[in-house]
Each structure stands twice: as structure tokens, then as C-alpha cells.
Structure 1
Amino acid sequence: MKIRSLHAAIAMAALFPSMAFAHTGAGHASGVFHGFAHPVSGLDHILAMVLVGLLAFQLGGRALYAVPASFVLLMAAGGALGIAGIHMPFVETGIALSIIVFGAAVAFGVKAPVAAVSALVGLFAMFHGHAHGAEMPADASGLFYGLGFMLATAILHVSGIAGSFVLATISAQQSDVLVRVAGAAGALSGMAILAGIL
């Protein structure tokens, strides 16, 4: 998929929740603020999204944009389901498992086709998106709420990629070890979240 087409698809996903399930009331600023705050206010979302950035960095090349874009796009689709009140089973379990899977992939330096990783990341993104959408304030705009949580997610992905780049410029050998350790710590945190410890 070309970058231009990918951008168009992401834009459509951002618009979809608003077009189909628009809420009125608090206005644009409120919607963006609440949407932005949701991913950055939960450790589970932060861990998963930063790990996606680390994973994209490890894979390199096309994965640097394809993997995070897949997450954001399918998260928007999951958000639309949540906003619409459509039930999705095992949302919290799916979120915790995403942290474990992403963390383990980073820790073991898994090398897989970009399409396969993007599909896996996108599958788990649906759980994150559903959680965001289901918790949207009733008076927020669906469009702006969706844009808010997509923006926050993209920033968290970029922070994972940027942190890896910074480590790589300091020492390529040490950066690989540190990124893998971060992945292992993420996976352990996911297990703790799944067990209800965190």
C-alpha cells in the first residue's frame, strides 16, 4: 500500500466514528482533550504503544511506518465499535496480552514479514480502540475524540521509535541489548497487568 493511500485510509478511519455515531455537546476542544488523555492515562496503553514503536524500530525499513499505521488505523475501527456500543469480548484481556506479545517480540528480536507483524499489531489495536471508544464521554464529539486518541497513540509510537534511534546513535550494540531488556520488562509488566497485580 502506498503512503498516500495509507494516509487516506487513516483519515477515513478517523472520520468514521463521527460520521456513524456522532455525539454533540462539549465541542471540539473537549473531544480532542478527552480522546488524547485516554491513552496516556493508562499504563497498559502506554506500554503497548511504546512497545509497538520499539518493535517497528527493530524491524526497520517499511515497518517504521507500516506497523504503527496499522495499529492506529485498526484502533480507530475498534474505537468506532466502542462508540457504537457494540460489544467486543475479552477487551481487557486482549490489551494485557498485547503488552505481553509485543514485549516478547521485542525481547527476542523477532524478525517476521512486515505484513504479518502489522496484522498482529492491528488485531490487538482493536482491543485498545474499543476500550477508548467505550469510555468516550457522552457529550464529546466522536470525530474529535477519535482524533485525540489517534494523536496520542501516534506520539507514543514515535516516542518508542525515537528512543530506540537515540540509543542506536550512542551505541548500536548496547542499544540492541537495552531495547530487548525494555521489551522483556514490558512483557513482564503485561503479565502483572493480566494477573491484576498492576
Structure 2
Amino acid sequence: MPALRTFKIAVALAGSLLPSLAHAHVGLGDTGGFVHGFAHPLTGLDHILAMVLVGILAVQMGGRALWLLPLAFIGMMSAGAALGFAGLGLPFVEVGIAASVIVLGAAVAFEVRPPVAVAVALAGLFATFHGHAHGAEMPMNVAGYAYGAGFIAATAILHLAGITLGLGVAKFGERFGPNLVRIVGAIAAAAGLGILGGAI
């Protein structure tokens, strides 16, 4: 299946960078450059879940949402990263990140289909928190721009993984496919609660 093949490629590409994860955060070695920026979103379960959930939700909503949600997330994440990089504070960043996993997971689990404008605004809000957290850790030098480009590329691939997962699971048929997707959303929402409570 083309969808499953694309998903496997995305996972393989992300996995190929796992040896770099130990150096992805500030204070743990050189953090400049595209590769380290690419690896950074893969170091946190909260970020991985939220970005993949955006892709799955986009598939569930269909239509314009399929490309608007990921683009809104990437755009506002970049804006949030600029705020963090500039040293401008944003309240409740960690709560916002955990809430993004809970809300997006619940939306997938219950197949919530809000108006596209509402979904885009919500994705953008959550993306700002994610971007700020990573922007605050971005190296303050020229290599930081390459780092940011890598971070955006990894985010796009995680969105693609979510879209591919959503499309791939749908191949299981109208009866089992949606149920599998809802289960994934419920598990993610539960993980978000664990993250919020500090258990994960």
C-alpha cells in the first residue's frame, strides 16, 4: 500500500537520526545545525504525539483541513519559536503543550469535526506553545537558523506520518479503520494526562 510505504519511509528516516538524540538539547553538546534541529522534536513524547495527532485529525476532517492544519501548526510553531528565541516569555508553556496532546487526542478519539477555522486556530495556539519551548532552546548563533530549518522539517515529517497513519488505518475498512484511529486518539489523550500530571 502506498500510504503504508510512505509511513515506513518517514519512520525509517526519523529512526536513522536516533543516535543524535542524546545531543539534541542545549547543554548536551553542540546543538547547532540542521541534523540536531531535526532530531530535537523527536526527543519529547509530547511533541511527537501532538504533531502526529494534527496529521490524523486533518485526515479525519478531510477537505481543506488536510493541508491547512499542518501548515497552520508549522507557521505558528515558527512564530512561537521566534518568541522563545528572542527571550520573550509565554505563560503556561508546559501546560499548553500537555493540553495540546489531551485535546487533540480527544478530538481524534471522539471524531470531533469542528469548523476548519476553529481547528486551524486551535492548532495554531497549541503550536505556539510547542514552538516557544523549542525556540528558547535554539542556539543563539548562525547555526541556529539551520537548526530551526531542521526542526521545521522534522515537524513536517511528523505531520506526514500522522496523515499517512490516518490514511493507512482507513484501509482496514469502514468498520475497523475508524475504531483503530479512535483508539490511538484515546491512548494519546491518556498519555497527555500523564504528561500534565508529571507521570510521564
TM-score (norm 1): 0.82
Identify which of 78, 81, 84 aligns with 2:83.
Answer: 81
Q: Secondary structure at the match of 1:85?
A: coil
- AA matched with 1:151: A
Give the superposition deviation at 1:142. 3.3
Give the superposition deviation at 1:89. 0.9
Change (3 A) 1:140 1:189: farther
Q: How does 1:146-165 map to 2 (within 5 A)?
A: 146-165=148-167
Give the superposition deviation at 1:138. 3.6
Say yes or no: does 1:60 pair with 2:62.
yes
Please name the residue that 1:111 is paired with: 113
Please name the residue that 2:184 is paired with: 182
Is this contact kept in 2: 1:35–1:132, CA < 8 A? no
Please name the residue that 2:51 is paired with: 49
Give every structure 1 segment of 4 or more consecutive aligned residues whose post-TM-superposition deviation is greater than 3 Å: none
Q: How does 1:160-171 map to 2 (within 5 A)?
A: 160-171=162-173
Is this contact kept in 2: 1:97–1:194, CA < 8 A? yes
Please name the residue that 2:26 is paired with: none
Measured in 2, the distance between the counterparts of 1:143 and 1:173 equals 46
Measured in 2, the distance between the counterparts of 1:30 and 1:90 equals 27
Measured in 2, the distance between the counterparts of 1:34 and 1:120 equals 28
Farther off after superposition, 89-98 or 32-41: 32-41
- AA matched with 1:185: I
Is this contact kept in 2: 1:78–1:128, CA < 8 A? yes
Q: What 5-or-longer segments of structure 2 have no aligned partner?
A: 1-29
Measured in 1, the distance between the counterparts of 2:157 and 2:59 equals 14
Give the superposition deviation at 1:139. 4.2
Q: What 5-or-longer segments of structure 1 have no aligned partner?
A: 1-26
CA-based RMSD of the aligned residues comes to: 1.6
